Amino acid sequence: MKLSIVSLIACSTVVFAAPYGNGVKNVIMMVSDGFGPASETIARAYMQQNEKLPANYMSVIDKLFVGTSRTRSADSFITDSAPGAQCFSSGVKTYNNAIGVDVNIKPIGTNMEAAHRKGMKTGLVAKSHITDATPAAFAGHAANRAMQDLIAEQMGGLVPALGQNVDLMFGGGRCVFQSNSTKESCRKDTKDIWGTLKNNSWNTISTKEEFETLDSKSQLPIIGLFSKSDMPYAIDYDINNVPSLPQMAKKAIDILSEATKDSDQGFYMMIEGSRIDHAGHANDLGTHLREIFEYWETIKLVSEYIDAHPDTVMVSTSDHECGGLTLGRDNKYFVNTLTYKNQTASFETSCSKLLELKVSQRGQYVTETMIPVHLGTNVTEARASAIIKATNFSECVAGMRDALAVDANIFWTSLGHTGVDVNVYAKGKYTDELRGNLENTDIGNWLTKVLQVDVDAVTKSIQDLNVFQYNFTRSKSTLEYDHYK
């Protein structure tokens, strides 16, 4: 495989002080998927405009700012989420769509696998499929992120040669764990991973009511998947009975903290604000903002935990920016964030309902529900017409985007990721070493160092087993991934 000079940058990394061992017991990695500097700027501006806050107002995450991170993958200046997360989990760059493998498609160890082998308790919390790119990169190995059937088996500890590497998983994507003989399955085979985990003494939960019965003393391992697919956006919670990201994060921290309170080894967990990215793909700023505010709330509770437990460290960053959000357009010098104040539904939810209706019913739905209720505004006849005429999901989303973006004076340059640097936030011991502009692999190497684990040893043991060669064919046909499927 030919590599460009860009990929060789992985060979040049920041050297951190080593070894640690002075009071760090727990490590929390937080990933704000698709969250770029412009998104933080407009979220802060929204709060200032809505709450009439002073010009020097700082969000909870602003106060933890330490530097920036470059986001390129091994084969592209613009990264996919999978190799972006792998830089955090392994400190090794790889090609777009790869999970836990190097550029030659050889499996490599992760710092979560190494932490679990060391005796730490481990956890993953996400609003995406738990087997999707970011969480999968911490506990899975696949030539392509689309191989979620395989990743589910690995994350459930059902590949004997790998063993169990995760103690707690909260998120979405229950369909990947269910046999294709069941109605809600999205697997390609008949394996009942969910039933197997239950038989293997996993505590399996799928409803908010079951989630609420968990307490800090609940027995590990636990898997809670609260949606067939991705978990709903925060803006859509009122029509979905699921736990929120901060609720899942707090419960996970409480359980892992209790499980390790009498141990020399603490816990290592990854928390992802997955759907910040999805809203960026949809150019849905109102939904994007609500996902950011939910992530801020999660940051706040983690920060408070560190205040009470100074043996815990946290780093938060993004794998990439998504959507190319621009604040200001058409040579007009203002931004009205409150254009999105009364939005009550995501474009995803609103457009899905529109396309379920007969064509004859759509006009009334747009004029009586989508625009005044879901968008919470009045728009011109031309903008309403663009939504009514939509024949597919993409056209509907574009119509809703344009109905608000002009008045807000914002613009989206892309429906995908961009290559801009992203912000790094951190709290706890040794986090001063993350100051400045870092390569994304530097963050992964810092995590490995502060965890005091040997990722190379895990890589060697996995490669010596040769357990993956039967399915590690890099498929060009599955390199494109659609979040709306």
Cα separation of 290 and 397, whole Å? 17
What separation in angstroms does the CA of 152 have from each of 110, 271, 285, 366, 443?
16, 18, 32, 40, 26
110 appears as a binding residue in the annotation = no
417 appears as a binding residue in the annotation = yes
Cα separation of 444 and 452, whole Å? 12
Count of all residues that appear for the chain in the document = 485
80 appears as a binding residue in the annotation = no
238 appears as a binding residue in the annotation = no
Q: For residues 413 and 326, is the Cβ–Cβ distance under 8 A?
A: yes
167 appears as a binding residue in the annotation = no
Cα separation of 263 and 292, whole Å? 35
Q: For residues 100 and 142, is the Cβ–Cβ distance under 8 A?
A: yes
Q: In the annotation, is 81 catalytic?
A: yes
Angle at 270 (CA atoms; ends 267, 276), nearest 5 degrees: 155
Nearest residue to 297 (alpha-carbon basis) of 351, 246, 350: 246
132 appears as a binding residue in the annotation = yes
272 appears as a binding residue in the annotation = yes
Cα separation of 349 and 172, whole Å? 17
8-state DSSP, 9: G
Cα separation of 427 and 302, whole Å? 9
Q: Which of 7, 69, 81, 229 is flagged as catalytic?
A: 81
Q: In whole angstroms, how large is the CA radius of gyration of the chain?
A: 22
Neighbours of 273 (CB within 10 A): 29
Q: In which element (H, E) is residue 289 found? A: helix 285-308
- The full DSSP string for 106-127 is -B---HHHHHHHHT-EEEEEEE
Strand locations in 71-221 (E)? 121-129, 168-172, 203-205
Feature table: binding site for Mg(2+)? 33, 132, 134, 272
Feature table: binding site for Zn(2+)? 33, 277, 281, 319-320, 417
Feature table: binding site? 33, 132, 134, 272, 277, 281, 319-320, 417
Catalytic residues: 81
